[in-house]
Amino acid sequence: MQADNDLAPYAMWDLREIAASTKSDGRSKTIIHLDLPGIDKLYEFEVLPDQTEIDTNLAQYKKSKLQDYNLKFLRTIDERSSKGQEEQLLDFLNFSNKNYPSKNTMLVIWGHGEGYGDGTQFGGVAIDQNPSGRLGIPQLEKVLANYYLLNNEKISIIAMDACLMQTIEVATALEAKSKYLVGSTQIQNFQGLPYHLINNYVENELEQEAFKSDSGEDYYLVKKIPALIAKYYENFEFKSETASSLSVTELENSFMPAFEKLFFEINLQLRRNPFWIFGLQKALGEVPFFLGQTKDISLMLAKLEEHFLGQGLVDFALLSASAQEALKYSIISYTYGTDYHGQADQYYLGSFKAFGIWLPNSKHQYELRIEKFRNSIAYSSKYFKSYRAFLETLFERSLL
């Protein structure tokens, strides 16, 4: 939990949610590494059961201290002598795995998020103010790779309780180190994940649901989380929350080959007819975008399918439809807030899947960040080769 910023009261709120839904003889434990405002101490502790009522008044949590909670302190670390968040995270994961071995592990990265990035300028997650820093996605991938080498096991679920992190560039960076990903491609409410609802589901329903099928408990948990988010925010004024959960195996095996095939054929047609680019630019420009120049992948594919059908290009429309169908195998579940409901024409609600891809709106935006993406795992993938070439055509070799 990176709360060395304006999120500190919300960290206390989430601790209360976790404590209130934790059972002494329960099926799960929550171990936390917490950074609070200032540059002095980092805390690691187990959250113990505490039946104190969950107050929904933020002012209460602005006055809260760790001493107000039932915590089993494990370690206190001098932040001044620590080696940064990358090494802190690896050490915390190894320590937790050694002292709290489990069948399934969900790693939650909690804090501010800015999407894919290498930890410099825009991008990354767990933004720390004192000292200034963040976890870049390549650095997070390195941590998880080292964890796998040391423990020979993947993290079952990686959940990003942060804004803008559920994108294909982030997912491909983490896919070899985890089975499932949960996150949002949109700006999220500071309230974040509903930990009390998640814990209650784990304690009371998860085992029974998983017992009925061949799928594991980790699958059922990631499938349920978006629905729990939707339930939590039903009565909130903030109505734009989004979330999705996905299978990284299906992303690699089902979606990426179909995605590559579509853009391979698009690039082939562009070489034959360079003026074809104008129609594509207009169609893609109509797809709504999120902060960070990210667009929903499924919406983008739906707009391409519509464009191709309008041009009488049935084969290309079928390729777009096939990529959308393949994406459905990767996206386990998703949710979006009611703010989207009045914009059916804009958001193609049947297609929206809350999973993003970087598609800048201008050559200027492209030039600002392309070097960061060129070094990503996604851009070195054989299944991303044609999309990379398409972006180059769009912004480097365009006739405009």
pLDDT top residue among 234 and 16: 16
Is there a single domain that holds both residue 128 and residue 261?
no
The sign of the torsion formed by the CA atoms of 131, 136, 138, 143 equals positive
Rounded mean pLDDT of 112-126?
91
Tokens of 127: 């933004």
Is there a single domain that holds both residue 205 and residue 280?
no
Statement: residue 127 has pLDDT above 50:
yes
Is there a single domain that holds both residue 363 and residue 220?
no
Quote the pLDDT of residue 176: 81
Q: Is residue 1 part of a domain?
A: no
Statement: residue 207 has pLDDT above 50:
yes
Q: Is residue 400 part of a domain?
A: no
**Can you give the pTM of this predicted structure?**
0.95
Quote the pLDDT of residue 169: 96
CA–CA distance, 323 with 124 (Å, rounded to integer): 28
Quote the pLDDT of residue 351: 86
Q: Is residue 18 part of a domain?
A: yes
Q: How far is CA 2 from CA 111, 186, 194, 235, 297, in A?
A: 5, 19, 17, 27, 29
Bridge pairing between strands 155-161 and 106-110: parallel
Is there a single domain that holds both residue 220 and residue 315?
no
CA–CA distance, 146 with 139 (Å, rounded to integer): 11
Q: How confident is the model at residue 240 (pLDDT cuts 50, 70, 90)?
A: confident
Task: Tell me the residue ranges of DSSP E strands in the chain.
Answer: 31-35, 41-47, 71-78, 106-110, 125-129, 132-135, 155-161, 178-183, 242-247, 289-290, 294-296, 331-336, 356-358
CA–CA distance, 166 with 160 (Å, rounded to integer): 8
The last residue of a domain, from among 187, 219, 246: 246
The last residue of a domain, from among 246, 272, 302: 246
Tokens of 306: 């519509």
Tokens of 100: 């709290």
Is there a single domain that holds both residue 237 and residue 350?
no
pLDDT top residue among 121 and 186: 186
Enclosing domain of residue 365: 251-395
Report phi then psi at 126, rounded to 5. 60, 60
Secondary structure letter of residue 296 according to DSSP: E
Distance of CA 149 to the CA centre of its chain: 23
- Coarse DSSP helix, strand, coil percentages of the chain, rounded to the nearest 5 percent: 50, 20, 30
Is there a single domain that holds both residue 194 and residue 284?
no
Q: Is residue 2 part of a domain?
A: no
Is there a single domain that holds both residue 142 and residue 55?
yes
Q: How confident is the model at residue 400 (pLDDT cuts 50, 70, 90)?
A: very low
Q: Is residue 136 part of a domain?
A: yes
Is there a single domain that holds both residue 238 and residue 260?
no
Is there a single domain that holds both residue 14 and residue 123?
yes
Quote the pLDDT of residue 121: 76
Is there a single domain that holds both residue 277 and residue 213?
no
Is there a single domain that holds both residue 165 and residue 272?
no
Q: What is the mean pLDDT of the chain?
A: 92
Report pLDDT digits (tens) over 65-87: 999 999 999 999 999 988 899 99
Is there a single domain that holds both residue 241 and residue 338?
no
Bridge pairing between strands 289-290 and 242-247: unpaired
CA–CA distance, 66 with 293 (Å, rounded to integer): 38
Q: Is residue 92 part of a domain?
A: yes
CA–CA distance, 312 with 36 (Å, rounded to integer): 58
pLDDT top residue among 235 and 68: 68
Q: How far apart are the first and last CA of the chain?
A: 46
The last residue of a domain, from among 246, 274, 300: 246
Q: Is residue 150 part of a domain?
A: yes
Instruction: List all residues 6 or more positions away from 25 whose beta carbon is below 8 Å from its beta carbon.
Output: none
DSSP β-bridge partners for residue 333: 245
Quote the pLDDT of residue 348: 61
Quote the pLDDT of residue 289: 85
Quote the pLDDT of residue 189: 87
**Domains held by the chain: number:** 2
Task: Say if CB 130 and CB 4 are below 8 A apart.
Answer: yes
Lowest-confidence region among 123-132, 238-247, 255-264:
238-247
Q: Is residue 114 part of a domain?
A: yes
Report pLDDT digits (tens) over 335-383: 987 766 555 555 565 788 999 999 998 999 999 999 989 989 999 999 9
- The reply to whether omega before 226 is within 30° of 0 (cis) is no
